Amino acid sequence: VSGPTKTQYEIGDELDLTGLVVTAHYSDGSEAAVEDYEVSGFDSSTAGEKTITVTYQDKTTTFTVNVKEAAPVVTLESITVSGPNKTEYEIGEELDLTGLVVIAHYSDGSYQEVTDYEVSGFDSAAAGEKTVTVTYQGETVSFKITVKEDTASSEQPGESGKPDDNQSS
């Protein structure tokens, strides 16, 4: 035999004989590829090296394949946030996410920073404590910000914006 193309399997896979060529060698020195052979010994219910037997008429030969555990499916379990730097706003200010870090935590224990998250719940139209929600692939986490009344007027007391009347020429 030569081949087959596929020799690595996962538990539960079916045998793929693509690329398998079975050649019969005869006593007169001739040889020919044959197709009416039988294959036995493949079992993908458990992991390990499997010996596959190829039988043609009363002759047999073998080849091996490897069956391995399927890679576990890794899923997103949660997200966490740190930051942002700015958590206090005045009425009418825009949201500033500088310093916000969103970390995705996965079922295999791994984690990574993600940037393609969505932010909702920010509203600086009125004073008060606001909850800002971060969503990433269906997982959410929130943080609080505070919107304060504007305590400074646009003009400082005693300033009119006009030139000083007491200036000398």
pLDDT, one tens digit for every residue, the chain (169 residues): 999 999 999 999 999 999 999 999 999 999 999 999 999 999 999 999 999 999 999 999 999 999 999 888 899 999 999 999 999 999 999 999 999 999 999 999 999 999 999 999 999 999 999 999 999 999 999 999 999 987 654 444 444 444 554 454 4
Residue 152: the pLDDT is 58
**Region of 121 on the Ramachandran plot (φ > 0 left; ψ -120 to 50 alpha; else beta):** left
Distance CA 139, CA 102 (A): 11
Looking at 12-169, which runs of residues are DSSP E strands? 22-25, 31-34, 38-40, 48-56, 59-68, 76-82, 88-90, 101-106, 111-114, 118-120, 128-136, 139-148
pLDDT number for residue 150? 74
* CA 120 to the chain's CA centroid: 23
Three-state DSSP state, 14: coil
pLDDT of 155 reads 45
For residue 169, what pLDDT is reported? 46
Q: What pTM value is reported for the model?
A: 0.53
